[in-house]
Chains A and B, each alone.
Chain A
Amino acid sequence: MSIPLSWYLILSAALFSIGLFGVLARKNAVAILLGIELMLNAVNINLVSFWRYGNIASISGQVFAIIVFAVAAAEVAVGLALIISVYRRRTTVIANDLDLLKW
C-alpha cells in the first residue's frame, strides 16, 4: 500500500472543484450537465477510496458508488431530455438566456 489515502482525496477534491467550476462558469447547459457528472464521479472516488482504506469486509462503499452511477445515468437522461425540450422551444441552450424564473 504505497499510495496514501490523501492522494485519492486530493484527486477527488480537484475533480469536484473542476466540476463545480464547470457548473458555475459554463454557459452551455450541456456543459453544466457535464460538470455535474464530474462532481458525481468525484464523490464516487471518495466512496471507493474510503472503502479501500477502511473496512474492506464491508461492501457498502462499492454499493453506494454503483447506486451513484445509476442515479447519474438517470439524471443525464432526464437532463438531456430537458435540454432538448428547451432547445426546441427557445432555440437556445445558453443558461443565461433562460431567466424566466425570477421575482
Chain B
Amino acid sequence: MSTETIIWLLPLPPLLAFFIIILFTNKGKSLSHCIAVIAAALSWLGSMVVFVRALGVEHFGKEVFQSSINWLPTGNTWLKIGVLIDPLSAITIFFVAWTVLMIFVYSVGYHNYGQPKGDHDRKGLPPHGATIIDENGHSHTVPSIEPMYSRFFAFIGLFAFGMYTLVVSDNLLTMFVGWEIMGLCSYLLIGFWFGKPSARNAAVKAFMTTRIGDVFMLLGIAFVYYATKSLSFRDILNEHTLSVLSSTTTPILGLSAAGLISLLLFIGTIGKSAQFPLHVWLPDAMEGPTPVSAMIHAATMVSAGVYTVIRMFPLISAGFDGYHLTTTMSIIAFIGAFTALFAATIAVAQNDIKRVLAYSTISQLGFMIAALGMGAYVAAVFHLVTHAFFKALLFLGSGSVIHGMEHGVLHTGDHSVDPQDMFNMGGLRKKMPITFWTFLIGGFALSGFPVLTAGFWSKDEILADAFGNGHFVIFLTLAIAAFLTAFYTMRQITLTFLGTPRTKSAEHAHETPWTMTLPLVILSVFAIGFGWVGIPDKFPLLGGILPNWFHEFVGGTLAEAPEVLPFNFMPLLTSLVVALGGLLVGWFVYRNVRSAAEDKLQFKLLKNKYYFDEIYDLLFVKPAYWFAETFAYKFLDQTIIDGFINRIGGVAQSIGTGFRRYFDAPVVNGFGDFLGESTKRIGRKMAPIIQRGRIQYYMVTSLTVAIIVVVLYFFFKA
C-alpha cells in the first residue's frame, strides 16, 4: 500500500470498532475489547509504518506525504480535504499511536476483565466488588467487572478516531471535526459513571468550558477562510500568504490579521489544553475512569490543543523578527508561563493522587505553550512528545495504585478509606513493585531528573531557549514552576510509595494484572529513552554521542529550520538545581508525614485552587442561571412571549365566541332550522289533502302541475 493510502486509513479502525461494538457486540465483553484493542493495534501498526517510511525520506520537511480530494464545491473552486504527514505530525502520530494502544490494553485490566459480576453493581456507577467463596468456604470480596465494559471500549475507540483524524488532517476543517469528536467523547467518558452527581457535573463543566474555546476557534477558522479562501495548512502556511496576512491590519487591538487569527485559534487551545483561565475543567475531569484521564490528559485531547498551536506556529510567528515577540506571541508566552507556575502551586496542596497529576498536566502544558510563545518551536514539540509518554505513564500508574488500593479497601471492607487519597497510602513500593518503579521513572521524568529521563532533556531545552533568547521573566517563572514540579512529584512518590502503610487498606494493596503493568513498562521505556533523541550537540560530555536527530527532524517542518542555540551553562545549572533540589526537598519534607494534618503546605488558598471555581460560579454560572431563570424564563418566555401568545389566543377566542353567539347561532342556524321546520310543517299539513291514495286525484294534481309548469315556461320564455 502506498503511504498516502495508509495515512487515509489510519483513523478508520477505531471508528469501525466503535460502530461494531455499539451496534453488534455490546453484549459480549471479551469480543468487544478484542475488537477495540485490535483496532487500536491496526492503527498503531499503520502509524509505525508511516513513521518508519517518513524516517527514510531525506529532507522529509520538504517532501511530505500528502494527498487530498475535492469535497465541497464552493462556487468555482472546491473545498479540499486531505491528509498530511510532515515531521510534526509524524512525530505526533508516533506518540499518539503508542499511548493510545497502551491505554486500550490497560483498560482491559483496569475495568477488571476476568473478574466476576458485582453483587449489586449498577450501570453508571463504579463497580462495588463481588463476593466469592473459595474452596475452603471462606468468603472474599474481590473487584468486580465494570457493568458498562463494552461501552467504555466503544467510547475510547471513537476518541482515538477523533485524535487520529486531527493529527492526519491537512486542513483546519477536518482538524476541527476531530477536535469536536474528542470534545464529545471527553464529555461521554468523564461522565462515564453518570450515576455519580460529581461525574455528571464534571462532564458538563468540561464540555461547557472547552466549548468557550471552541467558539473562538471556529471564529478563527472562519476568519482564515475569509482571509485566504482556503483552510489547507499548505495554502495558509506558505510564505506569500503569511506575509499578506501579517501586513493586513484589523481593527482589534491593532493586531495584524495573522495575529488575530492565531489569537482566536489559541483561545481554542486554551480551552482544550486547559490553560489559564479555562483550566478549571481539567481537575474535575478526574471523575472519569483512570484510562480516560490518561487518554484526555496525556495522549490525546490536551496534546491536541498544543498540537494545533504548534501546527499554526508559522502563522503565529508571522512578523516575528527572532527577538521582539509579536503581541500574540507575548500573550501566548505569558499565558503559558503563568499557567505553568500557577498550576504547579495548586498541585502542591492536593491530596488526591490524580488531581496532583491533573494540575501537573496543566502546568506542563503551560511549559509547552510558553515555549511556543517564545518561538522555541522544537522545544515545544519535544516537550509535547516526552510529556505525552511520561504523563500517560503517570496516569496509568496512578490508576494502578488506585486499583491496588481498591483491592485493599475491598479486602478490609473499610469503605470509609478513599483509595485516591495519598494520605491513605504509603509503603506501596513493596506491595506493587512494578507500579512503583514505573511510577518512579514517570515521576522523575516529570521532574526532569538529570540526564537519564526524557523530561530533563525537553524541559532543559525550553529553559535554554528562554534563557538564550533573553526572556528572563519567562525563564525565571518556568524555573520556579520546574522546582515546584519536582517538589510535588517527590511529595506524591513519597506519600504513595515510600515509608510505611498509613491504613489497613494500603497494607493489603495488591499488584495489578499484567494487562495493566505491561503498558506501564513499555511507556517507562519511552519516558527514559525518548529524551536521548534530542540531546543538544554542544552538551558537555554527552553532546554529539547521539546526533540531535529530533531537532533536525522536527525543525524541518518549518520553512526555515530553527537554529540551534549556543550552549550555555546557566540554564543547565538551573534545571539541574531545580530538579534535584525539588526532589530532595520533597522527599525531606514528606518522608515522615503521617497524616494530612501534619502537612504544612495545606494552605486554604491552594487547597481551594485560588477559589477559581467559586469565582467563576459567582461571575458566570450564577448570572447564567439568573439570566436563564429570571430573565429568559420568567420574564422573556413567560411574561412576554407567553403573554403575547395568550393575549392573541384570548382575542381570537372572544372573536370566535362573539361570532358564534351573535351570528352563527341566531342567523345561520336560525335560518337553517326555520327552513327545515317550515318544510316539515307544510308537509304535515299537506299530506292528508293531496295524498289520499286515490289515483285520479293524483292524476289531476299531476295535470295541474304540468299545466302550471308549461304555462310558466312559456310565460317566462316570452
Name the one of A23, A25, A101 contacting B693, with C-beta atoms under 8 angstroms: A101
- B133 beta carbon closer than 8 Å to chain A: no
The A-contacting residues of B in range 403-424, CB under 8 angstroms, are: none
Total count of chain A residues near the partner, CB < 8 A: 13
Name the one of A24, A32, A99, A103 contacting B687, with C-beta atoms under 8 angstroms: A103
Q: Are B703 and A20 closer than 8 Å at their CB atoms? A: yes
Chain A residues closer than 8 Å to B688, beta-carbon distance? 103
Chain B residues closer than 8 Å to A99, beta-carbon distance? 692-694
Q: How far is the CA of A102 from the CA of B691 in the complex (A)?
A: 6
Q: Are B692 and A24 closer than 8 Å at their CB atoms? A: no
Interface string of A2-43 (1 = CB under 8 A from B): 000000000000000000100111000000100000000000
On whether A98 and B691 interact (CB within 8 A), knowing A24-B700, A24-B703, the answer reads no
- A100 beta carbon closer than 8 Å to chain B: yes
The B-contacting residues of A in range 47-101, CB under 8 angstroms, are: 95-96, 98-101
Residue ID in chain B nearest A25 by CB atoms:
B696
Interface string of B240-267 (1 = CB under 8 A from A): 0000000000000000000000000000
- Centre residue among B691, B695, B703 by max chain A CB count within 10 A: B695
Residue ID in chain A nearest B688 by CB atoms:
A103
Chain A residues closer than 8 Å to B691, beta-carbon distance? 102-103
Q: How far is the CB of B706 from chain A (nearest CB, A)?
A: 11
Chain B residues closer than 8 Å to A102, beta-carbon distance? 691-694
- B699 beta carbon closer than 8 Å to chain A: yes
Q: Are B699 and A100 closer than 8 Å at their CB atoms? A: no
Q: Are B699 and A24 closer than 8 Å at their CB atoms? A: yes
Q: How far is the CA of A102 from the CA of B693 in the complex (A)?
A: 4
Name the one of B687, B694, B699, B700 contacting A96, with C-beta atoms under 8 angstroms: B694
The A-contacting residues of B in range 642-699, CB under 8 angstroms, are: 687-688, 691-696, 699
Q: How far is the CA of A24 from the CA of B704 in the complex (A)?
A: 12
Q: How far is the CA of A93 from the CA of B703 in the complex (A)?
A: 23
Residue ID in chain A nearest B695 by CB atoms:
A95
Q: Are B693 and A95 closer than 8 Å at their CB atoms? A: no
Chain A residues closer than 8 Å to B700, beta-carbon distance? 24
Residue ID in chain B nearest A97 by CB atoms:
B694
Chain A residues closer than 8 Å to B696, beta-carbon distance? 23-25, 32, 95-96
Q: How far is the CB of B320 from chain A (nearest CB, A)?
A: 111
Q: How far is the CB of B573 from chain A (nearest CB, A)?
A: 128
Chain A residues closer than 8 Å to B703, beta-carbon distance? 20, 24
Q: How far is the CA of A20 from the CA of B696 in the complex (A)?
A: 11
Q: How far is the CB of A47 from chain B (nearest CB, A)?
A: 20
Q: List 12 A-B contacts (CB under 8 A).
A: A20-B703, A24-B696, A24-B700, A32-B696, A95-B694, A96-B694, A98-B695, A99-B693, A99-B694, A101-B693, A101-B695, A103-B691
Interface residues of A (CB under 8 A from B): 20, 23-25, 32, 95-96, 98-103
Sample of 8 further A-B pairs with CB below 8 A, known A24-B699, A95-B694, A99-B692 = A24-B696, A24-B700, A25-B696, A96-B694, A96-B696, A98-B695, A102-B691, A102-B694
The 8 A-B pairs of least Cβ separation, nearest first, read A102-B693, A99-B693, A103-B691, A101-B693, A103-B687, A99-B694, A102-B691, A95-B695
